[in-house]
Structure 1
Amino acid sequence: MALSVDRVVGGLLFDRDDTLIIDVPYNADPHRVVPVPGARRAVERARAAGLPVGVVTNQSVIARGGATRAEVDATNARVDELVGPFDVWCVCPHGPEDDCPCRKPRPGLVLEASERLGVPVAVLVVIGDIGADVGAAAAAGAQAILVPTPRTRREEIDAAETVADTIEEAVALALQRVATTRP
């Protein structure tokens, strides 16, 4: 499967947990951050190609009272240090019951990242590990690449237009659209 051949790629947005770092449920401890294999190389490759990069992440641990925003920000700073740097971080602090516009699969985080990066949403690609990441991209008008993990449901994989085996493969797919569309 491949990205749409009629759209360029102008920036990459990554999910955090199980995409950039190994998921530790509700993690707000910077010392527990471990990058997914290949994540740093993938982000470096995107940056070297001149693409702006950002992170869009649901962090309901804040709404649940398991961590403060400052603790989540410190954890994100550690991700930035180990995998980034990222040009923008967009975090949804709400829980599923809050009915907010930013929690993936809603488009709010992707739209916010687009605005903050100054990159049209139509040329952004969201790379994530679950259907909510793909759904947020679609709802915002961006493209998506699903990188499944053992936790990804089969129906999410089947529904995704573009699937990659690794984060490095996902970035390579996106870079093909950059290389073939730039003058």
Structure 2
Amino acid sequence: MKLVILDRDGTLNHDSDEYIKSPEEWQALPGALEAVGRLNHAGYHVILATNQSGLGRGLIDVASLNAIHKRMMKQLAAVGGRIDAIFYCPHTPEDTCTCRKPLPGLLEQVADRFGVDIKGVPFVGDSLRDMQAAVAAGCAPHLVLTGNSESLRGSGLPPTFPAGTHMHLDLNAFVDALLKKTVDLAV
């Protein structure tokens, strides 16, 4: 199974220090939905793995989170894309769960649910904790310079990031690189 795992906030959509709490607040990053569609058309299953501590903080309820994801799915469908599954951690950092990134629990849930080995599967995110979770789960870490990492544009990867982290301007640039690599491997 061809699989790509994505973070949500800051990778697929604009992030907010105030949390995304309603469908109206969910705004896709330019070109991100089309990038997911390109992955789907190339035969990839796309999974979201996202921390949603707004649930644990009482800022949002599951019905609102589902409404946000319904809006996201509708917008994806309009450009020929889809997300095959959404995994989220509802906990706050103080909850000491195993599913909150930078721990690998969400990614391990993906492996268990789909019955696949996720070693080497691309995990795309916009933060250090995303890259740490990717490495801890054995995924290939891909950092997009959007959201939390937008300030890194024009500079190199900070030494705090795991070795082997690949940098891309945005989700479209990641898809360009992945599909080029796939084509190169097929030649």
Instruction: Give the corresponding residue for 1:3.
Output: none
Aligned pair partner of 1:176 in 163, 176, 180: 180
Stretches of structure 1 that go unaligned for 5 or more consecutive residues are: 1-8
* Structure 1 residue corresponding to 2:103, chosen from 106, 120, 145: 106
Aligned 1:13-162 pairs, distance under 5 A? 13-24=5-16, 25-83=18-76, 84-149=81-146, 151-152=148-149, 157-158=157-158, 159=161, 161-162=165-166
Percent sequence identity over matched residues?
33
- 1:21–1:36: 8 Å Cα contact kept in structure 2? yes
Q: Is the 8 A contact 1:42 1:171 kept in 2?
A: yes
- CA deviations on 1:102-153 (whole Å, 9 max, x unpaired) are 0001101111122323432114111111011111110000001101236327
8 Å Cα contact 2:22/2:68 also seen in 1: yes
RMSD: 2.2
Confirm or deny: 8 A CA contact 1:127 1:145 kept in the other structure: yes
Mapped contact 1:21–1:34 kept (Cα < 8 A): yes
Residues 67-100 of structure 1 show CA distances to partners (whole Å, capped at 9, x for unaligned) of 1122112212212222342111000000001111
In 2, the alpha carbon distance for the partners of 1:28 and 1:141 equals 31
**Which region of structure 1 is more displaced relative to structure 2, 108-117 or 32-41?**
108-117
Residue number among 166, 169, 178 corresponding to 2:170 in the alignment: 166
**Larger relative CO (CA 8 A, sep 6+): 1 or 2?**
1
Unaligned runs of 5+ in 2: none
- Normalised by the length of structure 1, the TM-score is 0.86
